[in-house]
Amino acid sequence: MMTTLIRVIAACACALPWAVQAANWLEVFGNEAPDAPRVRPFIILQPTYTHIDAEPVAGLMGPLAAYNGQYIFSNQVQPNFEDTSQFQFMRARFGARGRLTDKINYYALVDAGRNALTTERDVMLASLSLTFNHLPGARVRAGLFKVPTDEEAVMAGPNLSPYIYFSNVTQNLLIEQPLRFAGSSSNPTLASGAATSGCSCFHDWGVQVYDWFTHGRWEGSYAAMVSNGGEIDHLADQDGHMDLTLRLQASYIFGGAGPLRQDVSVFAWRLAGERHFGTADHRRIREGIGFKYLKGRYRLAGSYLRGNGMIIAGLNPPFSGNPYAVGVDETADGWYLEGGWRFHPKWEVDLRYDVLHLMTSHPANTRVPEATTLALQHFARKDTRISLNYEWRGGEVPYPEAIAEGVPRTNALAIPANLGDRISVQLTWIY
């Protein structure tokens, strides 16, 4: 493994974007400076190597004994879950943004990488929007773009994050996988679901009203978005229900502007909608609060998220090719805390801890995945960054007594105990 990693790093070295920054992402994504060009093309490439230090599962009993000697899907590289080690172009994004007029901006982006967005299509439209700046206090953005939720989701693309993979709580509650009903489950509190498209990956088609207001060094911003809440490769709403997302943020600005801004901020958001699954419509509620601080060489940020209604627990049984386990009236919550230190102009070290309490309405279903991620970033050039992440991953079955003794409990405890640590290295190049 180490030989392969050295080769990948060496190949990347001859080729940074900016470090993760504090910013008003509503402004960064949706608006252009008055002197911005009509067309500003850009490219984001992220070749990535991932290795998961895991062994095939053993000790499963009963019907699951047939899976002994295989890897659980969490120990295989996403999004295809085929191997424990893989090199892939995680993202290959091509886009353009600019001003159509002094009052109208546009943003367009396609993704041809290998990630959850492109599991069903080799190339996906990731963003296509127009922003109308005609009404004082109420800018209007329409089209396909990011829903205004948590900071980890709305920041200006994963190209700015020091972490190659999202936190467990963001991955589960906000990266929505559209599903259709695929039958009942052996667990009467869960149903089975099959994927109908790639994930929404924080994006949706809709209309957003937003703006920001400054007073000295203080800034307040808001966003209200009505969106489809469905598969993003379909322009029209598919189930007759719309999502409503609200976000508020208050910031004290130390200096800078745009994605280079330094500030301290607090924010709160809520997404409410419904999903048609089987023969009924089910709630999908997501909400959270958080903060971020960036000044000089130091950064600290954290969020608490929770969800109720439709919750997806991963593949069941947890091996590639199986259906998803779906709770239609479930709850989940979790949080992350992360920070960074730019100890040298070209080097930064980052640390994140995250935990997710999944399927908490039924103790027998509850699982608690957690991870501690250590990241090292090297800013080789203005347009090139190399990131190295090591994740200590673990999982817990907090209520084993709620699971029937014997085969069910043995199998339930064996799966999280088999979760392996993950190491990944990524080159980010931006044009």
CATH of the domain at 328: 2.40.160.10
The pLDDT assigned to 10 comes to: 36
Whether 353 and 334 have beta carbons less than 8 Å apart is answered as no
Average pLDDT over residues 261-284: 95
Residues pairing with 423 in the sheet: 51, 390
The whole-angstrom separation of Cα 257 and Cα 142 is 24
Place of tokens 């990241």: 375
Tell me if residue 172 falls in helix, strand or coil: helix
Residue closest to 232 by CA, chosen among 223, 243, 224:
243
**pTM of the prediction?**
0.91
The pLDDT assigned to 257 comes to: 84
- Give me the percent of the chain exceeding a pLDDT of 90: 84
Q: Average per-residue pLDDT in the chain?
A: 92
The whole-angstrom separation of Cα 336 and Cα 267 is 15
Name the pLDDT band for 372 (thresholds 50, 70, 90): very high
Host domain of residue 393: 2-430
Average pLDDT over residues 87-94: 95
Average pLDDT over residues 225-250: 92
Domain count for the chain, please give it: 1
| pLDDT tens digits, one per residue of 164-194 | 999 999 999 999 999 999 998 888 999 999 9
Enter the DSSP assignment of 296. T
Place of tokens 């599903």: 179
The pLDDT assigned to 82 comes to: 93
Longest dimension (CA), the chain: 69
Residue closest to 200 by CA, chosen among 256, 138, 149, 137:
149
| pLDDT tens digits, one per residue of 118-148 | 998 999 999 999 999 999 999 999 999 999 9
| pLDDT tens digits, one per residue of 97-112 | 999 999 999 999 999 9
Instruction: Tell me which of 4 and 26 has the higher pLDDT.
Output: 26
